[in-house]
């Protein structure tokens, strides 16, 4: 059976809604906007160009390319399971999904389109005039554009992974290596010190040692707060679907989960001059080769079926 990609699926739903007389929902309109190249200055990219559905709505490049093939400043994170987070982006500069949805559109290095021009373009389209009228009972505005995009992003919640089935009582849902990896995650490897809760993020900012002021000079949270103590701090990402969102870290410097684990096993061996690294990362974990493999198996088991069984 042929599966539909998210944009195709939403279009089918919208068309079905027109035929049945049912109006489209805010999230369905948001999905259309998410895949809409009209929202980039030169009509070349959409939100989905960097947040690729088949890769957990992340990108496969260390730094995504915006309009004119301009590299973005940081790695594109996955955007599943973002509902209810207190802050967004690696530096936490947005407090709501609506504020987050606006930034890539207007960022000159990403989609590069002033929001006023985005409003004009959508209202010049007969199709979008009809959709916004049906959903919001008004033309497109800066506010309802971001509301629709945020509504779609709120539908990207995932909780159907082998790990979820294991927690629900299916002892066979996890492989034996993944079971051992789970014990390591909450024990010897101390991963849950930062990656805790249902979505494996404590919604905090941490300095894991990837800032040295020279070769690694992205100051992260400091750029927003201007607090010297925040240099090298970045938002702790959730780990659901992490196996399909490579490469990793704010700069995409690690290509595989294994590389990430090897770094945490002994950060000083990879970045010996990291400034302000969290004290919890001060000593090597001394994970064996088997333990590294087991921990990776557990992280892979956090992948929702929608990505494991993608077309």
pLDDT tens digits for range 281-294: 999 999 999 999 99
Residues 190 and 294 in one domain: yes
Q: What radius of gyration do the chain's Cα atoms show?
A: 21
Residue finishing a domain among 98, 131, 153: 153
In this structure, the answer to whether residues 283 and 259 fall within a common structural domain is: yes
pLDDT digits 0-9 by tens, 158-216: 999 999 999 999 999 999 999 999 999 999 999 999 999 999 999 999 999 999 999 99
- Full-model pTM: 0.91
Count Cβ neighbours within 10 Å for each residue of 273-299 and write b for 16 or more, e otherwise: ebbbbbeebeeebebeeebbebbbbbb
d(CA 305, CA 56): 11
Residue 104 has pLDDT above 70, yes or no: yes
- Could you give the CA distance from residue 273 to residue 180 in angstroms, rounded to a whole number? 32
Is the four-CA dihedral 65, 67, 73, 77 of positive or negative sign? negative
Can you give the residue range of the structural domain that contains 10?
Answer: 6-153
Residue with tokens 């064996």: 288
**Domains identified in the chain, total number:** 2
Please report the sign of the dihedral spanned by the C-alpha atoms of residue 20, residue 21, residue 26, residue 32: positive
pLDDT in tens, 214-239: 999 999 999 999 999 999 999 999 99
Whether residues 81 and 127 share a domain: the answer is yes
- pLDDT over threshold 70, residue 146: yes
Q: Which of 135, 153, 171 lies at the terminal end of a domain, its last residue?
A: 153
Binding-site entries for heme c? 47, 50-51, 191, 194-195
Q: Alpha helices of 64-220 — where are they, by DSSP H?
A: 97-106, 115-124, 126-136, 142-153, 162-167, 176-186
As a whole number, mean pLDDT of residues 98-110 equals 97
Q: Report the CATH number that the domain containing residue 222 is assigned in CATH.
A: 1.10.760.10
Is 26 within 8 Å of 34 (Cβ atoms)? Answer: no
Q: 1 in a domain, yes or no?
A: no
- Residues placed in the known binding site: 47, 50-51, 191, 194-195
Say if residue 11 is in the same domain as residue 148. Answer: yes
Choosing from 106, 123, 153, the residue where a domain stops is 153
Same domain? 191 vs 288: yes
């Amino acid at each position: 059976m042929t599966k539909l990609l998210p944009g195709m699926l939403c279009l089918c739903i919208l068309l079905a809604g027109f035929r049945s007389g049912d109006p489209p929902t805010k999230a369905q309109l948001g999905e259309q906007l998410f895949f809409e190249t009209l929202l980039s200055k030169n009509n070349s990219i959409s939100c989905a160009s960097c947040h690729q559905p088949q890769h957990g709505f992340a990108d496969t490049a260390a730094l995504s390319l915006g309009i004119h093939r301009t590299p973005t400043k940081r790695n594109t994170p996955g955007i599943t399971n973002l509902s209810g987070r207190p802050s967004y982006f690696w530096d936490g500069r947005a407090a709501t999904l609506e504020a987050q949805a606006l930034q890539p559109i207007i960022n000159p290095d990403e989609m590069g389109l002033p929001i006023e021009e985005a409003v004009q373009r959508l209202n010049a389209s007969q199709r979008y005039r009809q959709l916004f009228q049906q959903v919001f009972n008004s033309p497109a505005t800066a506010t309802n554009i971001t509301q629709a995009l945020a509504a779609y992003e709120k539908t990207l919640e995932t909780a159907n992974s082998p790990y979820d089935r294991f927690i629900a009582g299916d002892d066979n849902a996890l492989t034996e290596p993944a079971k051992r990896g789970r014990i390591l995650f909450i024990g010897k490897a101390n991963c849950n010190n930062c990656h805790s809760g249902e979505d494996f993020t404590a919604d905090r900012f941490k300095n894991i040692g990837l800032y040295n002021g020279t070769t690694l000079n992205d100051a992260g949270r400091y750029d927003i707060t201007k607090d010297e103590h925040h240099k090298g701090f970045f938002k702790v990402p959730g780990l659901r679907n992490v196996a399909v969102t490579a490469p990793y870290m704010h700069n995409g410097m690690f290509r595989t989960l294994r590389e990430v684990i090897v770094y945490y096993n002994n950060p000083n061996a990879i970045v010996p001059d990291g400034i302000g690294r969290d004290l919890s990362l001060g000593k090597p974990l001394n994970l064996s080769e088997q333990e590294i493999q087991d921990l990776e198996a557990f992280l892979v088991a956090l992948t929702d079926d929608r990505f494991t069984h993608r077309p």
